[in-house]
Structure 1
Amino acid sequence: MDPLAKKIVLYLSNNVGYIKSADLAKKLGVSTKTIYRTVKKINSDKEIITSQRGLGYAINLVQDSDITDNFDDINENKKRTYAIGVYVLFNQPVGPKFFNTADKFYLSESALNKEIQKINSILTKFKIKITRKNGHLTVVGNEIGIRQALNFLLIRKGAVSEGFTSVSEIFPSIDENDRSFLITQLTLIQDELNVVLVDPYTLNIFSHLYILMGRIRSAAHTNQPKEIDESDVKYDQFYETARLIIENISRYTNRTINASEIIYLSQYLLSLRYMHSNDIQQINNAAPTTKFDKPVLDFATNIIDNYPFKKPINKQNLLTDLCAHIKPMLNRLKSSLVVVNPLVEEIKDSYSKEFLQTREIVDNYTSKKYKMNLSDDEVSFITLYVVKAIEESAKTNKVLLMCTTGIGTAQLLRTKLLNAIPNMNITDVISSYSYRENMEKYNQEADLIISTVAIPEQSKVPIVVVSPLLNELDLQRVKSFLNV
C-alpha cells in the first residue's frame, strides 16, 4: 500500500461517518481525482473503503479489523527489513553468511533475497550496496557510508515501533555499561561545548557513538573514514571535544583508534543543533542577522518569502528558528553527513500539505543553489518550524482601544488599525475614565491596550500610546507588540 493510500485509510479510520472527497483531498493536499484513483486502487482486491453519493467515503466496518492487521504487518515487515540491514552492516567487512542470516530471521532463500533488494534501495543514498559473494553478505562501499546507513536504519527501526521515549527503546540489546558510558559522553559533549543538545539530535549523536564503538570493537576497526580531507580541519573547540571523546572510547574499549576518527566526529558535532544560553535572548531580541552568515539568512528568507501563508505570521521569530536549523544543516551538506528525523513519517502524515509546500520551495532553492535536493528528514525538520509559526499566528491577542472619551478618535483609530492589521482582535473601545474605574476588569479582558492618552496608573497589561491619526512609527510599535 503506497503512502497516500495509507494516509487515506488511516484518516477515514479515525473519523466517524462519511468524509466528502473534497474535504479529504484538502486535508491530504491532493486533488479529488487523485483521491478517486487511490480509493479505486485500495479497493482493487476487496472493498476496504465504501462510498455513497452525496456523502463521500467511509471505512467498510466489516473489513476494519483486517485493515488494522494489515498495518501491523506493514510495520513488522519494516522492522524486520531494518533489523536485517543493521545486522548485515554491523558485521562488515567479513559479512555474515547468507544462510545463517536467513535462519536467524526465519526466512527462506528467496525471501531473504527480496529483503536484500529492499535494503539496497535504501542504501543507494549512502552509496553502498549489499552483495552475495562466496556465501557471505558483503557491502560494497566505504566505511562512512556504512556508518551513516547504520544510523539511518537503527533510528528508522525504532520509529516504526509502538513509539519510543528513550535510547533504550532504540537500542534494546545495548549493554547497560555501554549505555551508561555513552550517556556520560553526551553529558561531556554538552559541558565541553557549553550547550544543550536539542532533540532529535541527541538521539543521532548517541547512535553515532554507539555505531563507532561497535565498529572499532569488530574487525572493522581497520576501516577508518579516510575519505575526510584533513586540510579542512579546524582545531577548535569541536575538534578538542571530539579528541576527548575518542580518547575516552579508546580507553573504554581498550582499542587504538585512528586519529581520523577525531576529524570525523568533530565534523559530526559541528553538524548538530544546540541550544546556547544566549539563544533565548537571541529569539527575544529577534535579531538573527547579528549571528548568522549570508548563505544561512538567504536560505531562511527564501522559505519565508515563498511560503503561501494565509495569515500574518511572526516572520522575525520564524527567521530565527530557521537560521538556527539551517546553519548546522549546511555544515551537514558540506560534509555529506546525515541526520535522521525519527518523526518524519508522522510529520508527512499530520502536516502533508505543509510538508509538500515546504519541499517544493526548498527543492527549487537547493537545486539552483547547491545542485541537489534535501532528504525528507531535512525537509520535515524545516516543515515543523513553518507549522510552529502558522499555529502561533492562530493565537490572536485581545486588544483594547482607549481614548479620552471612547468615541470619535478611538473609532477612527479602530478603522485605521484594522486596515493595517486585518486579523487584529479588538475586543472593545472604551474611555480612559472607564478604564481607571474598572482597571482589574479590563486587564483580565485584554493582552494589549492601544491608547491615545497616557495612563499614569500602573497597568498589568502593556499599553502602547499612539497618535489618534496612527502614524507609521505608531503602527510599527503596535506590530512589534503583536509580533506581526
Structure 2
Amino acid sequence: MGSKADRQQRLLLLLSKRQDYVTSDELAEFLGLSQKTIYRLIKKINDEHAAGDLIESEKGRGYKLNYEKYIGQQVAQPNQRSQYSPTERRNRVVEELLLSSPHTKNVYDLFEEYYVGDSVIFSDEQLIAEYLQTYNLTLERKKRTLAVKGKESNIRRAIAELIQMHDIVDINDLKHDQELNFNHYDVLFILDQIKIIEKQLESDIPYPYNVNIFSHLYILISRLRKVGKIPAAELNHLTAKEESELQQDQQLYQVAKAAIANVENYLHDPLPEIEVYYLYQYLTSSRAQRAISKVTKFSPKVAAITQAYLDGMSQRLNIPIKGELIFLDLANHIKPMLNRLEHQIRVKNSLLNQIKMTYDEIFSFVTEVSQDVCQEYKLSPINEDENGFITLYFARIIETNQLPIRTVIMCTTGLGTSELLKVKVEKKFPELEIVDVIASRDSKEFLKKYPDVDLVLSTIQLKEELPLQFLLVSAIFTADDQNRLQKKIEEIYDER
C-alpha cells in the first residue's frame, strides 16, 4: 500500500544533488517516469509549498531546486479525512481494524468520515484483504462488519508497518507531532520508559532503534486500550526455546521485565510473560552506544557473515577493506540484524531514498552481497531498510579511507597566479594534495617526475591532451570553477 509521495521525494532528492538546471528529459530518464508525470509532480510540489515555488524553472535549461526553501520547507498537510488519498484512507482503515482485532468493526463506522460510496468500500476491502495476506492475516466479513484474524505477532508486525512515525529521527519530536494523532499521555509515558531503559543499561539507544522500541510499546498499549485482554493462545506461555533465549542476557531480561511491569501499572492490567520476551527481542535487536565497544567476540555465524560482506564489497568496489576496527564495527551491526531477521523485526530507514540516491552503486553492491549471504546462510530476505544501513557503513569506510587526489597546478609561468590558486584550492578542497605548481612549458615533462598524479588544474588550455584527468579553471577560481572541480573529484573517486 505504497504512496505517490515516494516519487515526489525521489524527485526532490535528485534535484538536491544537482547544482545546476536539469531538463525534464533527464529527470524522466533517471526516475523511470514519463515527462508528463514529471510535470505533474513538479506542479504538485510547488502547489503544496506555502512559500512559493520549491522547484524553479527556466526555459531552455530545465528545473532547479531552491535549496534554501527545500531545507526549511513546510508542505501543507491535509487537515480533514475527506482530503486523504485512497492509499491514506485504506491505511487508516486497516490500522483501525488491526488495533481492534479480533473484534469486529461496522463498515459504515470505518468509512463514514471519508465520504465514499459502496463501490469504493468494496474495492478497498479487496485491497486490504490482499495486503493482510502478506502478513498471514485474513479479513473476515460478516453482514456489515469487518474483522482481522490471525496470530498476535503478525498483527503487531502489520501495525508497525502502518503507523506513520517512521520519519521521526529525534524521538523527542513525538511529544509535539500533531500529525501522528497519538495519545499524548501514552507518548510521555513511553518516552520516560525509554529513558529508564537507557539508564539501566548505562547506554544510549540510538536512532532508529529507539523509534522501534517506542513503536512496539505504543502498539502494545494501543491494542490493550482497544480490546482489553488480548485473546491469543500464543500469549499464554513461553516455549522452551523462548525461555532459553531470555536466559542468554540476564541484564536485558531484567530491564525488559521491569519495563513491562511499569506498563502493567500504567494500564492497571496484568500482562503475560510473552510481552517481556517481545520487548527483550527488541532490545537485543538494537544497538546501545556504550555496549558497542564491549562486544569484541562473536558467534562463528556472525563472524562469517561479517567477513562475507567485507570480502564481497571489497571485490565489487575493487579496494581492500580490512582491519580489526572495521570488522568489529560491522559485526556489531550484523549481530542484532540477524536477531531482527529471525524475529521479523523491521527497522524502518527514513533515509533510505537519500541513501539509494547518494550511494546508488554501493547500495546496489550491498544488495547483491545480501542476496548471496541469505542464500549461503539460509536467512530470511534482507530488506532494503537493512541494506541501506549496511550501505552507510561501506560509504563511511570509503570516505574515511580515501587516498588524497594528487594534483598539479599549471599556468603560464608557474608563479604568481598559480600560487594564489594553490592557496584557494587547498583551503576549499582538503582532499586534494597539491604536489607542485608548474609552468605550461613543462606540461610534457612533469609526468616523469610525478607519474602518480591524478589531476591537473590549469589556467590555460593545452594543445595536446594529457593521459590523466584535466580541468581548466580561471585564475580567480570562481564559484563555477569550484562546482566543476567538485564534480571532477567525485568522478575520480567513482573511477577508483
TM > 0.5 between the two?
A: yes
Structure 2 equivalent of residue 200 of structure 1:
208
Q: How does 1:269-308 map to 2 (within 5 A)?
A: 269-276=283-290, 279=293, 290-307=296-313, 308=316
Structure 2 equivalent of residue 136 of structure 1:
145
Matching residue's letter, 1:86: E
User: How far 1:397 sits from its partner (Å)?
Assistant: 9.9
Distance 1:393 1:241, change over 3 A: same
Structure 1 equivalent of residue 21 of structure 2:
17
Mapped pair 1:212 → 2:220: yes
Distance 1:381 1:78, change over 3 A: farther
- Aligned partners of 2:24 and 2:38 also within 8 Å: no
| Alignment equivalent of 2:111, drawn from 102, 107, 124 | 102
Q: Give the alignment's TM-score, normalised by structure 2.
A: 0.63
Mapped pair 1:86 → 2:95: yes
Could you tell me how far apart the structure 1 residues matched to 2:126 and 2:149 are? 14
Q: Mean alpha-carbon deviation: is it higher for 238-247 or for 163-172?
A: 163-172
Structure 1 equivalent of residue 173 of structure 2:
166
- Aligned partners of 2:404 and 2:433 also within 8 Å: no
Q: Mean alpha-carbon deviation: is it higher for 375-384 or for 108-117?
A: 108-117
Instruction: State the secondary structure of the residue aligned to 1:182.
Output: helix
User: How far 1:239 sits from its partner (Å)?
Assistant: 1.8
Instruction: State the secondary structure of the residue aligned to 1:166.
Output: helix
Could you tell me how far apart the structure 2 residues matched to 1:370 and 1:71 are? 46
- Aligned partners of 1:93 and 1:139 also within 8 Å: yes
| Alignment equivalent of 1:240, drawn from 250, 254, 257 | 254
Structure 2 equivalent of residue 258 of structure 1:
272
Could you tell me how far apart the structure 2 residues matched to 1:2 and 1:113 are? 22
Q: How does 1:314-333 map to 2 (within 5 A)?
A: 316-333=324-341
- Aligned partners of 1:92 and 1:220 also within 8 Å: no
- Aligned partners of 1:217 and 1:255 also within 8 Å: no
User: How far 1:394 sits from its partner (Å)?
Assistant: 4.1
Distance 1:40 1:170, change over 3 A: same
Spell out, residue by residue over 1:189-210, the C-alpha distance to the aligned partner (whole angstroms, 9 max, x if none). Answer: 1222232101111011011111
Q: Percent identity?
A: 25
- Aligned partners of 1:366 and 1:372 also within 8 Å: yes
Structure 1 equivalent of residue 160 of structure 2:
151
Aligned residues: CA RMSD: 4.3
Instruction: State the secondary structure of the residue aligned to 1:196.
Output: coil
User: How far 1:164 sits from its partner (Å)?
Assistant: 8.5
Matching residue's letter, 2:162: L
Structure 2 equivalent of residue 438 of structure 1:
none
Q: How does 1:2-151 map to 2 (within 5 A)?
A: 9-10=11-12, 16-18=20-22, 38-39=33-34, 42=37, 58=62, 78-151=87-160
| Alignment equivalent of 2:239, drawn from 212, 229, 234 | 229
Mapped pair 1:188 → 2:184: no
Structure 2 equivalent of residue 392 of structure 1:
400
Matched length = 373
- Aligned partners of 1:304 and 1:315 also within 8 Å: no
Structure 1 gap ranges (5+): 29-34, 49-55, 62-69, 283-287, 399-423, 430-484
User: How far 1:92 sits from its partner (Å)?
Assistant: 1.6
Distance 1:120 1:237, change over 3 A: farther
Q: Give the alignment's TM-score, normalised by structure 1.
A: 0.64
Matching residue's letter, 2:305: F
Could you tell me how far apart the structure 2 residues matched to 1:163 and 1:276 are? 19
Instruction: State the secondary structure of the residue aligned to 2:180.
Output: coil
- Aligned partners of 2:342 and 2:380 also within 8 Å: no
User: How far 1:316 sits from its partner (Å)?
Assistant: 4.4
Structure 2 equivalent of residue 477 of structure 1:
none
Structure 2 equivalent of residue 342 of structure 1:
350
Could you tell me how far apart the structure 1 residues matched to 2:259 and 2:199 are? 12
Instruction: State the secondary structure of the residue aligned to 1:139.
Output: strand
Could you tell me how far apart the structure 2 residues matched to 1:124 and 1:21 are? 39
Spell out, residue by residue over 1:264-291, the C-alpha distance to the aligned partner (whole angstroms, 9 max, x if none). Answer: 2222222222212562xx6xxxxx7x32
Q: Mean alpha-carbon deviation: is it higher for 335-344 or for 253-262?
A: 335-344
Distance 1:43 1:107, change over 3 A: same
